[in-house]
Structure 1
Amino acid sequence: MPAKLQGKVATAPPRPSRTQPVAVAELAAAVDAHLTAPDQAHVQVTGVTLRAQHVRAGDLFAALPGTRAHGADFADRAAAGGAVAVLTDAAGAGRVSGLPVLVHPDPRAVLGALASRVYGDPSARLDVWGVTGTSGKTTTTYMIESALRAAGRATGLIGTVETRIGADRLDSALTTPEAPDLQALLAVMHERGTTDVTMEVSSHALGLGRVGGVGFAVGAFTNLSQDHLDFHPDMEDYFRTKARLFDGRARVEVVCVDGEWAPRLVKEHTVTVATTRDAHWTASDVAVTPTGEQSFTAHGPGGATLDVELRLPGDFNVANALLAIACLHARGVPLDAVRRGLRDVQVPGRMQRVDEGQDFTAVVDYSHKPAAVALALQAVRARTAGRVITVLGCGGDRDAAKRPLMGEEAARRSDVLVVTDDNPRGEDPAEIRAAVLRGALAVPDAERGEVVEIGDRRGAVEHAVSLARAGDVVVVAGKGHETGQEVAGVVHPFSDVEALATAIRETTK
């Protein structure tokens, strides 16, 4: 058995090599916070963090209220590490001694703005391309970044799969980093010569203020479907949170209006894209090759056209490409660079082909919500005359309501569905599988194929591969690019891509 890795430990994020010190009085005034020690108004701040273990000399320590503890309880540790001031609320202020305290009723809401001020407002010196939505964020950011590189721009990328400065890859623990880490990262990117940063903007990032203080050159919206209802009370709240990216913080707003929610985001100057209705950018002549690549013609404002070649299958990737094209065109990126960037883009774990010379198609996809599962399986179904064999599980400690819905969508679109474990986290894996199976087996027999339960994910992948024949498609859904499987608080090394490739080699040798 591979060695077990304990759950993720937050590593200290990168920081710029130097910052211009800012007085605590200036920071307090910038966000209308009360400074408890006016005689220390001159104290100089050179960094910001909300983790006491990451404090450096000269830092402002953000002591935020939490569900289990108050950050102010760690103020002494932060002071010992070199913190020179604390940002907190009234409840936390009484727990801090010996340091000037900036007291604000909602410290999380102003943390981004404070960090931006300390790190020199880095987003004002970069073009930041923000993409939000339920599905397609990762793919769209990769498409935009690929085209920017083709245009000769120096790029950075922040998202679910990775954080990258040029070719230098950093670990990506959160889709969008916490506000002080994000501002420091943007400052590092600028310091290293980056001109453009493409960034996934999650609803958690918007709801928890992680992108506070960031000015966006472009804000883009992909779509909205059920997800994260463990964080949001309902879909309306989920949408309103996503909509914050379009509250004026982005200089250009681009929206895919195919779905029911998106039209509410459209304003007078919004750039729209669609594959199912009229919009500023549309697609025609979509053609799919037997191996899944596709081509289409994009039509835009003023008679602009672009012939697109795309390695990624699925109608949803036509929509993602149109969104990327519209964003890039709005910022003046040459269409020839856009064409080359889209032709060459590859996205880890998103409809990723695994080719070991087998006579069937094997795909790994990150689809982990009902609509994404449906779209991924529709995409592979459209290009095969054979069977669709799907491996699917659901993560624990997340939105439980989507589990039977995912099982239903997969069962309707698969000839064989193998229900397995994803990342059970702190939950009983058997109970998660039971919820997925409940949805799958609720589909009438005549409308679904065979449904099998194999808890061990590697075993489930091996079983799916053993069933595959020439012309079939095996889809391993849910974990995509991930390289670990979290069970009962322990992360075990596991890669769907590696497991699928190994199973194919063992079966076909």
Structure 2
Amino acid sequence: MKMKKLLEHLPFYQVTQPISKLTVQGISMDSRSIGPGDLFVCIRGIKVDGHDYVQDAVNNGAVAVMCEERVDTSVPVILVNDTVRALAMVASTFYGHPSESLHVIGVTGTNGKTTITYLLDEIFCRHKKVTGLIGTIQICVAGKAYPVKNTTPDALSIQKYLSMMKKSRVDTAIMEVSSHALDQGRVYGCDFDIAIFTNLTRDHLDYHHDFDDYLRAKSLLFAQLGNGYNSGRDKYAIINMDSPVAKRFIRSTSQPLLTYGINHRADIMAKDCMLKETGTTFTLTTPESEVRIDSPLMGLFNVYNMLAAAGAALLSDIPLSVIQQAFNQSRGVRGRFEPVREGQDYGVVVDYAHTPDSLENVLKTIAELCTGQIHVVVGCGGDRDRSKRPLMAQVAIKWADHVIFTSDNPRTESPKQIFKDMTNHLQGTYKIIESREDAIESALKAAYQGDVVLIAGKGHETYQEINGVRHHFDDCEIARKILRSMKESP
């Protein structure tokens, strides 16, 4: 692509050398991945500044560099005020503004994002639509999966994946949108058609200044709704009316609203809910009609997830009968209230719950289903928000009969410091077992008929990060191995 064409959405920039005849083969913000003919964009990260790697990029074949400050190099330098925003614009242009050719649904909130995106994927696939998914667990393009590092990738990667979806004849792209991504401008240039707000509780306060800053970041998805570069389609915001901050999100957008809830009047509601050990039943009411849902998904939080997904599906012209079928036959999401069954006479559940609110929701759900005692194995991640550690511990003590605190992903932090943060001033009975495998084994061997063991915090993750090194570790896999071993023991 001609450089002039690539820069067409940038109103102001300066160049150090003529660029009229320059052709760009690709774009990268990593000097190590630069190839001949590429444009290198300098991004200031939390730990690394791309401006320090300009010469490396040029040595690898960069034909031009986009910077926020002048750098001494032999290739043309394009000076802009904000390389993050500029990267989103040039990436969208380079890949042909792919989001404008797709029906794009974004989901944000503290909890429920992954489940809602997977529910939507099931609904659309059932309606014979070709889907793309960008989320915490993986990226899927027309059924083909790719690994992912962040809940929401960087702006360049997003445009690349959306372009892949467009080429693969994807109809609908469904995306988890994190607060980090919104705050860092990773979704600039994405033309969302529907934005969903789930809920908001304490999380990521190691990154955000405070709860209000976290709320501000989440609300950006709604403030930017309908602000694509060449947008011309209808836009909708879907809001959980049972959230205490619902009105803040409603005020963030000028687009038409669809609301959902259980306790407050809303457009889409769940009535006559029955929470069972085998799933959930309720009446799904919509502005047009209602249907009875009998889903294998357990817990009230999954009712909310289904309401949000139903709203987005209805706005996408999916028949209510298809939505009902999808909910009633949903496979669920790996690591989200996932049962582990190896013939034992007590329940074992693996869940990603890693915030005080999500842990409490899961334990509340178990309390409603459990006929015996509740065991919980839980920890807190290192190098992350320390303020939630005592809150996580308090929730565990409040709702579980037997509590084991263990390592989550300590990363570069001392597990002993994490345990200290969790248990300082904590009142109640608990154990600390640093080895996560030993902690899981201890909880499983202590359970009796009718009990439920919750292994919380890591869910779908297949690694444990210790001292900055990732080791293979899968909670479900470990639990199954221990349960099988116990069954084989005399």
Q: Distance in 1 between matches of 2:223 and 2:237?
A: 10
1:280 maps to which of 267, 278, 303? 267
1:431 aligned counterpart, secondary structure: helix
1:339 maps to which of 298, 303, 324? 324
Q: Distance in 2 between matches of 1:85 and 1:340?
A: 53
Residue 230 (structure 2) aligns with:
none
| TM-score, structure 2 normalization | 0.94
Deviations, residues 30-66 of structure 1 (Å, cap 9, x unaligned): 2234231352233122322211122233322111123
1:174 aligned counterpart, secondary structure: coil
Is 2:69 the partner of 1:82?
A: no
Residue 65 (structure 1) aligns with:
44
Residue 34 (structure 2) aligns with:
55
1:182 aligned counterpart, secondary structure: helix
Alignment of 1:75-154 (within 5 A): 75-90=54-69, 93-95=70-72, 97-154=73-130
Q: Distance in 2 between matches of 1:204 and 1:405?
A: 22
Residue 309 (structure 1) aligns with:
294
Deviations, residues 355-377 of structure 1 (Å, cap 9, x unaligned): 11111110000000100000000
Residue 158 (structure 2) aligns with:
182
- Per-residue deviation, 1:332: 0.7
Q: Distance in 1 between matches of 2:348 and 2:55?
A: 54
1:287 aligned counterpart, secondary structure: strand
Which one is further off, 208-217 or 307-316?
307-316
Deviations, residues 219-249 of structure 1 (Å, cap 9, x unaligned): 1010000000011000111001100100142
Residue 5 (structure 1) aligns with:
none
- Per-residue deviation, 1:25: 3.0
The one-letter code matched in structure 1 to 2:71 is G
2:36 aligned counterpart, secondary structure: coil
Alignment of 1:318-467 (within 5 A): 318-343=303-328, 344-438=330-424, 441-442=426-427, 445=428, 450-467=429-446
Which one is further off, 47-56 or 325-334?
47-56
- Per-residue deviation, 1:503: 1.6
Q: Distance in 2 between matches of 1:306 and 1:438?
A: 49
Residue 11 (structure 2) aligns with:
32
Q: Distance in 2 between matches of 1:337 and 1:57?
A: 49
Q: Distance in 1 between matches of 2:297 and 2:198?
A: 16
Q: Distance in 2 between matches of 1:368 and 1:59?
A: 40
Q: CA RMSD in A?
A: 1.5
- Per-residue deviation, 1:76: 2.2
Residue 156 (structure 1) aligns with:
132
Is 2:470 the partner of 1:486?
A: no
The one-letter code matched in structure 1 to 2:26 is G
Which one is further off, 187-196 or 356-365?
187-196
Deviations, residues 411-449 of structure 1 (Å, cap 9, x unaligned): 10000010000000010011101222236x23xx5xxxx
Q: Distance in 1 between matches of 2:11 and 2:77?
A: 13
Q: Distance in 2 between matches of 1:438 and 1:298?
A: 44
Which one is further off, 132-141 or 23-32?
23-32
Residue 254 (structure 1) aligns with:
238
Q: Distance in 1 between matches of 2:440 and 2:149?
A: 26
The one-letter code matched in structure 2 to 1:435 is D
1:212 maps to which of 188, 191, 194? 188
Residue 199 (structure 1) aligns with:
175
Structure 1 segments of 4+ aligned residues over 6 angstroms from their partners:
none
- Per-residue deviation, 1:487: 0.4
Residue 215 (structure 2) aligns with:
239
- Per-residue deviation, 1:273: 0.5
CA contact (8 A) 1:220 1:255 kept: yes
Q: How many residues align?
A: 476
CA contact (8 A) 1:32 1:104 kept: no
CA contact (8 A) 2:3 2:20 kept: yes
Deviations, residues 311-333 of structure 1 (Å, cap 9, x unaligned): 22111110111000011101111
Cα gap change, 1:66 to 1:288, in 2 (>3 Å): closer
2:219 aligned counterpart, secondary structure: helix
2:424 aligned counterpart, secondary structure: helix
CA contact (8 A) 1:272 1:281 kept: yes
Amino-acid identity (%)? 35
* Structure 1: gaps spanning 5 or more residues: 1-20
- Per-residue deviation, 1:307: 2.0
CA contact (8 A) 1:135 1:223 kept: yes
CA contact (8 A) 1:404 1:436 kept: yes
Cα gap change, 1:75 to 1:422, in 2 (>3 Å): same
Which one is further off, 37-46 or 372-381?
37-46
1:216 aligned counterpart, secondary structure: coil
